[in-house]
Structure 1
């Protein structure tokens, strides 16, 4: 009788120890990271003009990040034809409460229309101010003016992006087309990565663009995690 009692007590003790060990292992395991919510605010380059949906910038960037283990919800805030003024006009309501980070890719349509660099600067600065007010981290993507507008215009336009990124503590990526034109020149290979209009990348071109900008988006995600 005593032997059976001792056996029962030992069995219960073993079960209790096993449960304790299980609880300890669960508590010690790293918690699953929460989903990071990002907004891509831009124009047709962001929106995916001329491409089937899965070939666009936002879907390809989503897939690139997922392949690297990032749990990210990336909202496509690209509007074809939008200028920096258009981006500013919708930045406030586009930054819904769950958005933690924003990728800003605007300025191409300002260039196509020959708008003054100081106007683009004021609009981009307005977007950065709204982001700061909402505690949203920003990756600002630069844009370069063509030389045919003259050296003063080009210098002023090209400089506004790194200067504003520095002033507002935003992350900076030099050019949306970095993955296609790393030297800023439209080579024959670069032309093969563009759609017939010569303005928008094709699906393969977008893949190159995502590969180039991806690490900077990862840096944005890391900054959000550190801030949290």
Structure 2
């Protein structure tokens, strides 16, 4: 009986050692997944698509394919503007995220918002996030080339200016190669379909991965 008791004690002690040894216990050494938020509008909220085909899910899958296991948290609101994003950034983006993709401006463009106001709103968003130690990836919106003119230059420049001022990672046009392409958009001609979202995710993922490595 004494021998049996000693054996049980020995097994318990060995188990405790294994549990405390990361090299022998995969669960102990597994780091928690890092977190990425996507602050945006209907494009990032996945308007017209199931959640599995929306940008947060596709971006998460693309990052996993690149060897970057993360959890991507959706923070997109249909119809939102840069002003709306500035007003809700603190409550919409969780405190423990490592990277935040800021993808707003499409509705500002549709509403003909003043470029100076767009810049001010983006500046506020980026300042709030950086003040919390969050790495920012800013995704721009570009006025279609066929419109051109002073407004286009000023609107497009608002995004580039904020990116340069704060030294954040910058994708000049979130919808490059997708906008106005009927094969990559839903029937409304505005919102990307599943194929369009996948293309956006593939172009966005390398910048997010850089942000994760830098953070």
TM class by smaller structure: 0.7 to 0.9
Instruction: State the 1:149 CA deviation.
Output: 5.9
More displaced 10-residue stretch of structure 1: 96-105 or 83-92: 96-105
Distance 1:59 1:178 in 2: 20
Instruction: State the 1:146 CA deviation.
Output: 3.2
Question: How many aligned residue pairs are there?
Answer: 196
Instruction: State the 1:24 CA deviation.
Output: 10
TM-score under structure 1 normalisation?
A: 0.78
Structure 1 runs of 4+ off > 6 angstroms?
none
| Structure 2 counterparts to residues 152-163 of structure 1, below 5 A | 152-163=150-161
Would you say the 8 A contact 1:179–1:212 is kept in 2? no
Instruction: State the 1:191 CA deviation.
Output: 1.4
TM-score under structure 2 normalisation?
A: 0.83
Select which of 64, 67, 73 maps to 2:65: 67
SS of 2:137 mapped into structure 1: strand
Match of 1:180 in 2: 178
Match of 1:217 in 2: 208
Instruction: State the 1:35 CA deviation.
Output: 1.7
Instruction: State the 1:97 CA deviation.
Output: 2.2
Match of 1:167 in 2: 165
Instruction: State the 1:205 CA deviation.
Output: 1.0
SS of 1:77 mapped into structure 2: strand
| Structure 2 counterparts to residues 1-228 of structure 1, below 5 A | 32-146=30-144, 151-180=149-178, 186=180, 190-224=181-215
Distance 2:212 2:178 in 1: 24
Instruction: State the 1:26 CA deviation.
Output: 5.5
Distance 1:78 1:35 in 2: 21
Distance 1:131 1:25, change over 3 A: closer
Q: Kindly name which structure, 1 or 2, has the bigger radius of gyration based on alpha carbons.
A: 1
Q: Which runs of 5+ in 2 are unaligned?
A: 1-16
Match of 1:11 in 2: none
Distance 1:217 1:179 in 2: 19
RMSD: 2.4
